[in-house]
């Protein structure tokens, strides 16, 4: 059975917190398209993570795509995660950076 967005979000939060980081839900009244989570990592890195249900990775709205582009232009890491494997990939890539 495919994982829901909520299940993937819980896995991300657990993994980030186990590394000593914070995984905060991001809501920004009046600004649509912001990623679901801000992950503040040990050492000062900040990751922005958009979560999608398994198999729905490419279902970003135009507002989400635009906001992700703005964050990347500012030099931030933005991830779209839609599986447990992608949660692990995000963490491994962060460790290597």
Domains of the chain in start order, with CATH, are 5-96 (3.40.1350.10)
Backbone φ, ψ for residue 84 (5° rounding): -60, -40
What is the distance between the alpha carbons of residues 50 and 78, in angstroms, rounded to a whole number?
8
Q: How confident is the model at residue 97 (pLDDT cuts 50, 70, 90)?
A: confident
Q: What is the pLDDT of residue 36?
A: 97
Helix (H, G, I), strand (E, B) or coil at 77: strand
Q: Where are the beta strands (DSSP E) in 1-97?
A: 22-25, 37-40, 46-51, 77-81
What is the distance between the alpha carbons of residues 57 and 14, in angstroms, rounded to a whole number?
21
Q: What is the pLDDT of residue 16?
A: 98
Tokens of 53: 């249900």
**% the chain with pLDDT above 90:** 92
Over residues 35-71, the pLDDT tens digits come to 999 999 999 999 999 999 999 988 999 999 999 999 9
Beta bridge partners of 46: 40
pTM, two decimal places = 0.93
């Amino acid at each position: 059975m495919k994982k829901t967005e909520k299940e993937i979000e819980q896995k991300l939060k657990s993994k980030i917190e186990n590394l000593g980081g914070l995984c905060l839900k991001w809501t920004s009244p009046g600004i649509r398209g912001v990623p679901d989570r801000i992950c503040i990592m040990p050492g000062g890195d900040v990751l922005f993570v958009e979560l999608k249900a398994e198999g729905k990775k490419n279902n970003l709205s135009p507002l989400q795509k635009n906001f992700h582009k703005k964050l990347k232009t500012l030099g931030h890491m933005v991830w779209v995660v839609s599986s447990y494997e992608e949660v692990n990939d995000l963490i491994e890539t962060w460790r290597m950076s």
